[in-house]
Amino acid sequence: MRSDRRGVALVVALVGVLACAPADGPSTTGPRAGAPGIGDPDFPKDGNGGYDVSHYDLVIDYTPASKRLVGVTTIAASATQELSAFNLDLAGLDVREVAVDGAPATFTRQGDELTVRPAGPIADEARFSVKVSYSGVPRPIRDRADLGTYGFIPTADGAFVTSEPNGAKTWFPGNDHPADKAAFDFTITVPAGVTALANGEMSGKPTTSGGKTTYRWRERHPMVTYLATATLGKFELRQGRTSGGIPNLAAADPRFRSSLDRLYTTSAELTDYWATVFGPYPFGSTGGVVDDYAAGYALENQTKPLYGGFDPDESIIAHELAHQWFGNSLSIRRWKDLWLNEGFATYAEWLWAEHKGRRTAEAAFTDYYNRPATDEIWNYPPGRARPDDLFNDSVYSRGAMTLHALRRAVGDQTFFALLRTWAADHRYGHVTTDEFVQLAEKMSGKDLGALFDAWLFQPRKPSALG
């Protein structure tokens, strides 16, 4: 489900022209291999070109004792060009077999790219299926200090699965970039006694036989790959509904048993509150999971934020649940726009403190604004997140300050109407910074170019409070 086909097709076409030019002049027709990347200049190998995924069917069998995963992924996609071959992203693991529309396909591996060559070409706009049978011991990504460890992370009793930005490829083959969203079905088999927690809602009762239990989960709303999870282990559960009627599931590793009730009630309260501020909750259920793995961060996994080895407070729960609107329902097309996720979720923390009468957003803004002009936050423009330092504090805090500066400029009524219109207009879709600036200007009737430029794009402290 990708809505920016035109832009991507153009990039692919240009690459095709350049690649073909020396041989026999430009040729843009006929079957060609899909590009190895989806077109994000900062992450050139992430995602892939030439097709658009609508559904992932993930069947996984995982044994915590051996850390071995046996998987079958079936992808439903449609071609965005005539394809002689196409890539999937997959890191490590052994591929046994690939089939396209039920017919055996040949495949090669290079780095994290799995290239699939179907028996015959796939027509432009044709729907097709790809089935990949694979197995092995998943290896999380830990090669970058700024990102910590992410992907499929084995734990003593199961696995902790948080894949932002590009760790989905550590546990299933796919189009691993937020520009391609899809629905997901999960069928997860684990030793009896282990609980499997994936996105969305259970699509059947767990069944146990031969000492193994199979869980089925379905996320029917579009989801980016980095939000997919299959978090496994021993969990205490609490289930019910929020006061507003949304199914709510909290889960805690036994070591965090004391966090369970607060996680449950706070998640319910925040989901309902954000619905009054941002508009209707976009998904079929809410909740959260606390696992005994010290990730040092949380991730807003769709419908089930995951907290890594700490007792989450209201502020971080407010943050991860605000992401269900900003980041999950509305997703970025390019990583450079990450402030549209993190600046909004951080501003939501300020809004929650304001709502609770603890500290106004104005006071939070002023605390940050009072940082000296030499503070690092001022030389990192948050409107262009850097691939080598994606989750910089500026993307979060200066991103949130940008929203507060906007609120001061347009007034509360326009500002909160803007947040709701933004969430409604792009529900389940993709967004860019330009689109946000345009909507803000349209709804306020003001020229906001200088404000956004100073707050998002200049490597210095904005001079006026706006």
Site residues (vs ligand ARG, CB under 6 A): 147-148, 150, 164, 297-300, 320, 342, 391
Q: Which is nearer to ligand ARG, 214 or 229 (CB)?
A: 229
Closer CB to ligand ARG, 141 or 454, in the complex: 141
Residue 90, contacted partner among Zn ion, ligand ARG, none, CB below 5-8 A by kind: none
Instruction: Select 134 or 297, whichever has its Cβ closest to ligand ARG.
Output: 297
End-to-end CA separation in angstroms for the chain: 39
Question: Closer to Zn ion at the Cβ: 157 or 342?
Answer: 342
Of all residues in the shown chain, the one whose CB is closest to Zn ion is 345
Taking the C-alpha atoms of residue 264 and residue 248, their distance in angstroms, rounded to an integer, is 7
Residue 114: name its binding partner from ligand ARG, Zn ion, none (Cβ under 5 to 8 Å by kind).
none
- For ligand ARG, the closer of residues 8 and 395 by Cβ is 395
Name the binder of 89 from ligand ARG, Zn ion, none, CB < 5-8 A by kind.
none
Do the Cβ atoms of 38 and 49 come closer than 8 Å? yes
Report the 10 Å Cβ neighbour count for 192. 11
Binding-site size for Zn ion (CB under 5 A) equals 2
Using CA atoms, how far apart are residues 59 and 45, in angstroms rounded to an integer?
25
Q: How far is the CB of 320 from ligand ARG (least distance, A)?
A: 6
Residue 168: which of Zn ion, ligand ARG, none does it interact with, CB under 5 to 8 A by kind? none
Q: How far apart are CA 389 and CA 152, in angstroms?
A: 21
| Residue 297 touches which member of ligand ARG, Zn ion, none, C-beta under 5-8 Å by kind | ligand ARG
Residue closer to ligand ARG, measured from CB, 180 or 342 = 342
Smallest gap from residue 300 Cβ to ligand ARG (A): 6
* Binder of Zn ion out of 1, 345, 361, 456 (CB under 5 A): 345
Q: Segment contacting Zn ion (CB under 5 A): 99-107, 136-144, 200-208, 338-346?
A: 338-346
Two tokens, residue 408: 């001061």
What amino acid occupies position 336?
A: K
* Contacted entry of Zn ion, ligand ARG, none for residue 391, CB cut-off 5 to 8 Å set by kind: ligand ARG
Looking at the Cβ atoms of 40 and 52, the one nearer to ligand ARG is 40
Among the listed ranges 134-142, 188-196, 342-350, 430-438, the one in contact with Zn ion (CB under 5 A) is 342-350
Nearer to Zn ion, 182 or 345 (CB): 345
Q: Does 251 engage in binding with Zn ion (CB under 5 A)?
A: no
Nearer to Zn ion, 58 or 263 (CB): 263
Chosen from Zn ion, ligand ARG, none, partner binding at 228 (C-beta under 5 to 8 Å by type): none
Q: Confirm or reject binding of residue 330 to Zn ion (CB under 5 A).
A: no
Assigned token pair, 223: 């989801």
With binding defined as CB under 5 A, does residue 295 bind Zn ion? no
Window of 12-20, 58-66, 93-101, 344-352 that interacts with Zn ion by CB under 5 A:
344-352
Q: Which does 150 bind (CB under 5 to 8 A by kind): ligand ARG, Zn ion, none?
A: ligand ARG
Least distance (Å) from ligand ARG to the CB of residue 231? 15
- Contacts for 462 with CB less than 8 Å, ≥ 6 apart: 405, 454, 455
Using the rule CB under 5 A, is 306 a contact of Zn ion? no
* Nearest distance from C-beta of residue 149 to Zn ion, angstroms: 17
Name the binder of 298 from ligand ARG, Zn ion, none, CB < 5-8 A by kind.
Answer: ligand ARG
Closest distance between ligand ARG and the C-beta of residue 271, in Å? Answer: 16
From the list Zn ion, ligand ARG, none, which binds 299 (C-beta under 5 to 8 Å, kind-based)? ligand ARG
93 binds Zn ion (CB under 5 A): no
Pick the stretch among 46-54, 306-314, 340-348, 353-361 that binds Zn ion (CB under 5 A). Answer: 340-348
3-state per-residue secondary structure call for the chain: CCCCHHHHHHHHHHHHHHHHHHHHCCCCCCCEECCCCCCCCCCCCCCCCCEEEEEEEEEEEEECCCCEEEEEEEEEEEECCCEEEEEEECCCCEEEEEEECCEECEEEEECCEEEEECCCCECCCCEEEEEEEEEECCCCECCCHHHCCEEEEECCCCEEEECCCCCHHHCCCECCCCCCCEEEEEEEEEECCCEEEECCEECCCCEEECCEEEEEEEEEEEECHHHCCEEEECCEEEEEECCCCCEEEEEECHHHHHHHHHHHHHHHHHHHHHHHHHCCCCCCCEEEEEECCCCCCEECCCCCCEEECCCCCHHHHHHHHHCCCECCCEEECCHHHCHHHHHHHHHHHHHHHHHCCCCCHHHHHHHHHCCCCCCHHHCCCCCCCECCECCCHHHHHHHHHHHHHHHHHHCHHHHHHHHHHHHHHCCCCEECHHHHHHHHHHHHCCCCHHHHHHHHHCCCCCCCCC
Q: How far apart are CA 269 and CA 168, in angstroms?
A: 30
The entry of Zn ion, ligand ARG, none that residue 235 binds, CB within 5 to 8 Å by partner kind: none
Q: How far is CA 414 from the centre of its chain?
A: 28
Contact residues: Zn ion, CB under 5 A? 342, 345
